[in-house]
Amino acid sequence: MTAAGNHQASRPIGRRLERAGIRDVAAAAGVSITTVSDALNGKGRLPDATRRHVREVAERLGYRPSAAARTLRTGRSGLIGLTVTTYGEEPFTFTEFAYFAEMARAATSAALARGYALVILPASSRHDVWSNVALDGTVVIDPSDHDPVVMELVRQGVPVVSDGRPAGSLPVHAWVDNDHEEAVLGILDHLAAAGARRIGLLTGTSTDTYTRLSTTAYLQWCERVGQEPVYESYPAHDPCASAVAADRLLARPDRPDAVYGLFDPNGTDLLAAARRYGLRVPDDLLLVCCSESSVYASTEPPITTLSLKPGKIGTAVVQLLIDAIEGVGATHPVQQIMQTDLIVRTSSQRRTHRTTVSPPRSPAGG
């Protein structure tokens, strides 16, 4: 009670000792608030002299516009959310680490280049955090069917773009994804061309779109070429389970002579398992895994990897989102398919020299 009274009484001076407001700048420059606002934001009709003068005074006073006030007034915060799926309280899994890191890096860059900043918000966050931050739009990674967070955002009119084809009929404004089926078929063909007779798959037990599409493509391929499917599933979010599953796959009586692993750690784990069973790579076992990690360039032998190009996806997703925010883009959903990249290394190189490759005709001469 007295506190407030004292407060007011003891402040006959300026309204703030702390920071200079736009009012202070206006007073110091001898112009109106409007003029200051216009001068600093490059709007209105002002002679350069005035503009310069105001800017100089603002600089001298160390004036920084209040982001909160601006956001309130304009309805734009300059923030976009990056929503990651969570497993057991922890944001993004170990498996998705390299993918996510690269994707986030690219997204951050792209957002920044257009004047936006990125906020990381796990999908399972406490609701109060979500509603406590003013988002101009959100990127959602791999949204699950009827994702409540996405539904709520859309209801509020916040643009949403997803990385990964949205399951069901989630009302996102746009999405970007790889053509996972084509990628898997390409790899299987590549392995078959390298001499594989029985190709195995290391896959996950979860039902996200990536896992589902990839597995289905594998099964289809098997059916087409008349091979019995050989695969092991494991909970991809468990960092230890990969090694166990890799071991199990190579321990089977119908052991495959080539394996494609859907997740990042599968490469090293398969390699370790192969070693335990005395299998040489690529002589006894061809290996490919989906990974963004560069370590596979230096393993013994180097392992062929499929890159999903998370950097390109992150950039594309942010561009689409900002277009939607700024009303540039189309009015109905946009989908964009990104190329994957198969980096062929020793682990999947043709080992049977049955087909005579003429040695003189090396790569490209030059």
Cβ proximity of 241 and 234 under 8 Å: yes
In Å, how far are 61, 112, 121, 262 from 185, measured between CA atoms?
Answer: 63, 36, 34, 13
Choices 7-15, 25-33, 282-290, 293-301; region in contact with its own copies by CB under 8 A: 293-301
Q: DSSP code of 277?
A: T
Q: In the window 243-262, what residues touch its own copies (CB under 8 A)?
A: 243
Choose, by CB under 8 A, the member of 61, 91, 346, 350 that binds its own copies: 91
| Beta strands at 304-307 and 341-343: parallel, antiparallel or unpaired | antiparallel
Instruction: Tell me if 8 contacts DNA by CB under 7 A.
Output: yes
Among the listed ranges 20-28, 99-107, 287-295, 325-333, the one in contact with DNA (CB under 7 A) is 20-28
- 8 Å CB contact between 86 and 70: no
Q: Which does 9 bind (CB under 5 to 8 A by kind): its own copies, DNA, none?
A: none
Number of residues binding to DNA, judged by CB under 7 A: 38
Structure tokens of 157? Answer: 């009119």
42 binds, among its own copies, DNA, none (CB under 5 to 8 A by kind): none
Q: Which is nearer to its own copies, 94 or 167 (CB)?
A: 94
Give the residue with the Cβ less far from DNA, 77 or 95. 77
Contact between 143 and its own copies per CB under 8 A? no
Least Å distance between CB 62 and its own copies? 7
Q: Does 121 bind its own copies (CB under 8 A)?
A: yes
**Cβ pair 237, 87 in contact under 8 A:** yes
Burial 91-109 (b: 16+ CB within 10 A, else e): bbbbbbebbbebbbebbbe
Distance, in Å, from the CA atom of 216 to the CA atom of 34, rounded to the nearest integer, reads 62
Does 349 interact with its own copies (rule: CB under 8 A)? Answer: no
| Residue of the chain from 14, 59, 60, 69 that contacts DNA (CB under 7 A) | 69
Could you give the C-alpha distances from 224 to 113, 127, 167, 330, in angstroms and in order?
46, 47, 26, 39
Task: Select the residue interacting with its own copies from 43, 60, 197, 275 (CB under 8 A).
Answer: 275
Q: What is the dihedral of CA 241, 102, 291, 247, to 10 degrees?
A: -10
Alpha carbon dihedral 232, 251, 183, 228, in 10-degree steps, equals -80
The answer to the question of residue 22 lying near DNA (CB under 7 A) is: yes
Q: Residue 219, interface with its own copies (CB under 8 A)?
A: no
* Sites of contact with DNA (CB under 7 A): 1-5, 7-8, 15-16, 19, 21-23, 30-35, 37-38, 40-41, 43-47, 50, 63-66, 69-70, 72-74
